[in-house]
Structure 1
Amino acid sequence: MQTGKTGPIAPPSQLSQLSRLPELSPLDPAAAEPYYRQIYDRFRNAIAQGLLKPGDRIPSVRALTRELGLARGTVDAAYSLLAAEGYIQARGQAGTIVSPDLQPRRPVQSKAPRPDSDVPAASYRPDSVLPFQMGLPALDAFPRKIWARLGARCIRATQPSDMVHPAVFGSAPLRAEIAAYLQVARGIDCAPSQVFVTSGYRHTVQLVGQALLKAGDRVWLEDPGYPPTRELLAGMQVAAVPVPVDRDGMVVAEGIRRAPRARAAVVTPAHQSPLCVSLSLPRRLALLDWAARTGAWIVEDDYDGEYRYVSRPLPALKSLDREGRVLYAGTFSKVLFPSIRLAYLVVPEAQVERFEQVMQVFAGGSPALTQAIVTAFIREGHFARHIQRTRTLYAERRAAAIAGLERVLAPHVRIDAQPGGMHLILRLKGERSDRRLVARMRQEGLYAEALRDWALTPEEGDPALLLGFTNIDSMQTAQTLGKRILRLLEPGSQSAA
């Protein structure tokens, strides 16, 4: 769910079970509609599509005012309009609910596919658990007891009909919960039929390639950028076009200069992978304009968009898409845990049939039991609460990791100031090789990645280390680990050169 990869709120069907309201994404300041109208439209659309159901509780005016940072009168105006049109009812101390008199609408579901049991399972490479491991959420903070309880309940409820081949597109309840979450928390207007559950980011990219690309096509990739993306495209005989990244994200004008007729662009707008800068609004609009003019596709990889620490999480690029050119890729790996092997892709409505055809041929479906547990985890509000807790925890661990490492390594590295993400960037001072240092750290039981290994043009740019901080529990731990790195940087070390 980058995973993407703005701040979430609980699925509408379970808002009444939350004791604290998680953050909502910012509204669009560039939109023609005033803020109260954007709030009104968001809730009305969720009700109309059946994502908010009769009797569901919605956030109070006070809570939503605090979350969005708006004047109370703005939210009052939106709620008054919703109430006047019969969408919601105020129940005093019981809160505000969706009007029980409304006729519930079933979310539009795609026709049931015929599962293909001959598709081989995707290969799985387990992550090691090393200090500074990249791509791992805080494993010690995951609510394992709640997960175990939900798992046991799902197992007890299993019926023979649940033991057949899993739905190729993803289970209908999970697709509905994802659509509801994205509708309210991310401002992405989508139906459950537009959501396709995959076994991870690699599967998502392969699915996009099989549906929309062909051998010989050219695709913009951020430089530096996530290495598996270019590896997957190369396997499909699709040419990667490196597009540089600066403090405002992908340089769209340079992409147009290098490959104006490229078939697609893969971007990480919330926190660019790996530099963690955000794609500015002018660049977002320029990218959308290019795609609309040329008929190109934009794959938005929102792998960790929930984790922003200097302000509220940014809205998804998909929320600005008016021409149906953006495919939104989210993942549960960065929020829950990697071994869950679940991600999702939201496709434009006009492409639903095409993706259904491709998935019936190339996909085998994800385990039904895992999907059932995740569905319950979201529906009962645990997902939203977990993101809210880990956002606070990561801000603390990020600060502790920076403080501990700087105390030891300040003469040798400079740590980039980043607005969010789940890793740090340590710029190496002097003439040092990040690749050699990484190799040495691996030998010493420490994890790191070299920034140059993420570049399509590795001869450019300064050497730097990428270090995950989510499992660094204190400044003292970071300082101890920093001393181990320092020994590798001392004169005479095999990595120093």
Structure 2
Amino acid sequence: MDYGVLLSNYERTATHAEGVARASQQHRLYACLRAAILSGQIEEGTRLAPSRTLAEELGIARNSVLYAYEQLATEGFVLSRRQGTVVARVGLQQTPAHAPEAPPELSRRVNDLERPRGGMGDLLPFLPGTPALDEFPLAQWRRCMERGWRRIGPGQMGYGPVEGNVALRQAVAEYLRVSRGVRCDASQVFITDGTQNSLDMCARTLADAGDAAWIENPGYYGARAALQAADMRLVPISVDADGLAPRAEDWRDTPPKLIYITPSHQYPLGAVMSLERRLALIQHARAAGAWIIEDDYDSEFRHTGAPLSAVQGLTEDAPVIYLGTFSKMLFPALRLGYMVVPPALAPVLKKTAGALMLRGRVAEQLALAEFIEAGHFTRHLRRMRRLYGERRDALQAAIERHLDGIVTVSGGAGGMHLSARLDAPVRDTEVSRAAREHGMVLRPLSRFCLPGTFTAQYNGLVLGYGNVPAQAMDGLIVRMREVIERLGD
């Protein structure tokens, strides 16, 4: 074996992550031999060159060779015997070089999860759920963060309370009581890493594998993913103009353990659940022993009429877990949300949550508490309501000018997105793919339906307008029309 060629090839092909260029001579030789043994270039049972011979061949000190051999022996790669240094037989199973690498197998519970294309990093026009990040008061936030770090000493650098920072919990509870009519105090508030984390906690602590979970159909695929990953049995419930619309036979045939709803601005259709539907849902959930998970999605951005109070606050001891997030109100990278649980559930959940997750983000929680208490949060929301209202109006006007007869719009009462059913004879998935090539993210409405439940009424697009300036709407909708017309030819 030509050890010189072996070492030269290794040094040429090894990655920078292995630190080959900075490593000592003896370590480079050790790493080269180790890699060759693992890859099968040097087979098990092979007798390595004597240390003196190898040192002369490579032009290095014999001590460097001895170090490499000793290190390999310590790790079990070689054996020192009377006849010399021999590669150990440890049963290494080598994959043939020509064999294609098989993709890793995932668990059944996650193998069929929806994997939406793209993400927040794209920041392309019409990406749903993307706030106007360039309008965030970053200077004020930086000052709050700096003061938060100054308040942290060694005692606060460990894992924080599992329910979150008490100042932030108090600020959240006060905000929700005033703005959303939520019945709560700080003892019922749990700070989480966002809505997805909250959903995961609900699924793992309030239901068992195989229990039925009702979800809106079409609905938020993040909720679908969390419930499916917990091995729950998903039951699609249709949505109409008044929100979730369960039938009597649904309650009879598939009684739920969890019911996921977005009542303030249904995602993605935009319906607002009526008061009658809310009260009936609470009544039936109580009778069925079910928990309602109220994701108060987009409730802060109401453009038409007064917002309805949260379902959680309608009756005493409603079986409701109330979820919220700061991702849309502030910025997604903050990764902070909250759960409000019934008083009787709070101490039990506190013990359970302590076994499932550990809290951190101490500085962020302190900064957010100050951001809310100082009034920055309320002022920012007020500005964003006006801004998103202007952007919604501009989008609707552009659609009326350029897409009349091509799409039918719904869901404009609030939030940061519109739902547009396609009246043109094209599939939403095709429009989505083509629009991506033209620099737009048009989410297909059909992808929000559970597999096997798609109907023609859900052939449409979800248009997020939070990150699109009003003056850009007209040009983008013209581009969208061109994409649809080209596909329809």
In structure 2, do the counterparts of structure 1 residues 125 and 395 end up closer, same or farther at CA, with 3 Å as the change threshold? closer
Q: 1:138 aligns with which of 132, 138, 144?
A: 132
Q: Give the deviation of 1:252 after TM superposition.
A: 2.9
Q: Does residue 488 of structure 1 match 2:483?
A: yes
Q: Give the deviation of 1:215 after TM superposition.
A: 0.6
Most deviating of 388-397 and 482-491: 482-491
Q: 1:192 aligns with which of 186, 198, 202?
A: 186
What is the rounded CA distance, in whole Å, between the counterparts of 2:130 and 2:266 in structure 1? 17
- Could you tell me which residue of structure 2 aligns to residue 337 of structure 1? 331
* Equivalent residues in 2 for 1:384-403, closer than 5 Å: 384-403=378-397
Match of 2:323, SS state, is strand
What is the rounded CA distance, in whole Å, between the counterparts of 2:293 and 2:244 in structure 1? 13
CA RMSD of aligned residues (A): 1.8
Q: Give the deviation of 1:454 after TM superposition.
A: 0.5
Q: Following TM superposition, where does structure 1 have runs of at least 4 consecutive aligned residues deviating by more than 3 angstroms?
A: 124-127, 254-260
Measured against aligned partners, the alpha-carbon deviations of 1:404-429 in whole angstroms (never above 9, x if no partner) come to: 23322224222226211210112212
Q: Does residue 473 of structure 1 match 2:472?
A: no
* Equivalent residues in 2 for 1:171-320, closer than 5 Å: 171-253=165-247, 256-257=250-251, 259-320=253-314
Identify which of structures 1 and 2 has the higher relative contact order when contacts are C-alpha pairs closer than 8 Å and 6+ apart. Answer: 1
Q: Supply the AA of the counterpart residue of 1:349.
A: P
Measured against aligned partners, the alpha-carbon deviations of 1:23-72 in whole angstroms (never above 9, x if no partner) come to: xxxxxxxxxxxxxxxxxxxxxxxxxxxxxxxxxxxxxxxxxxxxxxxxxx
What is the rounded CA distance, in whole Å, between the counterparts of 1:191 and 1:257 in structure 2? 32
Q: Give the deviation of 1:158 after TM superposition.
A: 2.6
Q: Which runs of 5+ in 1 are unaligned?
A: 1-123
Q: Give the deviation of 1:366 after TM superposition.
A: 3.5
Question: In 2, are the aligned partners of 1:220 and 1:255 still within 8 Å (CA)?
Answer: no
In structure 2, do the counterparts of structure 1 residues 181 and 291 end up closer, same or farther at CA, with 3 Å as the change threshold? same
Measured against aligned partners, the alpha-carbon deviations of 1:106-154 in whole angstroms (never above 9, x if no partner) come to: xxxxxxxxxxxxxxxxxx9753211111111111221111111212222
Q: Does residue 455 of structure 1 match 2:449?
A: yes
In structure 2, do the counterparts of structure 1 residues 295 and 437 end up closer, same or farther at CA, with 3 Å as the change threshold? same
- Could you tell me which residue of structure 1 aligns to residue 403 of structure 2? 409
Q: Which runs of 5+ in 2 are unaligned?
A: 1-117
Q: Supply the AA of the counterpart residue of 2:298.
A: D
In structure 2, do the counterparts of structure 1 residues 287 and 405 end up closer, same or farther at CA, with 3 Å as the change threshold? same
Match of 1:490, SS state, is helix
- Could you tell me which residue of structure 2 aligns to residue 161 of structure 1? 155
Q: Does residue 359 of structure 1 match 2:360?
A: no
* Equivalent residues in 2 for 1:72-111, closer than 5 Å: none
Most deviating of 145-154 and 274-283: 145-154
What is the rounded CA distance, in whole Å, between the counterparts of 1:261 and 1:398 in structure 2? 38
What is the rounded CA distance, in whole Å, between the counterparts of 2:335 and 2:249 in structure 1? 32
Q: 1:323 aligns with which of 317, 320, 325?
A: 317
- Could you tell me which residue of structure 2 aligns to residue 110 of structure 1? none
Q: Supply the AA of the counterpart residue of 1:131.
A: P
In structure 2, do the counterparts of structure 1 residues 186 and 411 end up closer, same or farther at CA, with 3 Å as the change threshold? closer
What is the rounded CA distance, in whole Å, between the counterparts of 1:445 and 1:439 in structure 2? 10
TM-score, normalising length from structure 2?
A: 0.73
TM-score, normalising length from structure 1?
A: 0.71
What is the rounded CA distance, in whole Å, between the counterparts of 1:462 and 1:169 in structure 2? 39
Q: How many residues end up aligned between the 2 structures?
A: 370
Bigger Rg, structure 1 or 2: 2
In structure 2, do the counterparts of structure 1 residues 363 and 412 end up closer, same or farther at CA, with 3 Å as the change threshold? same
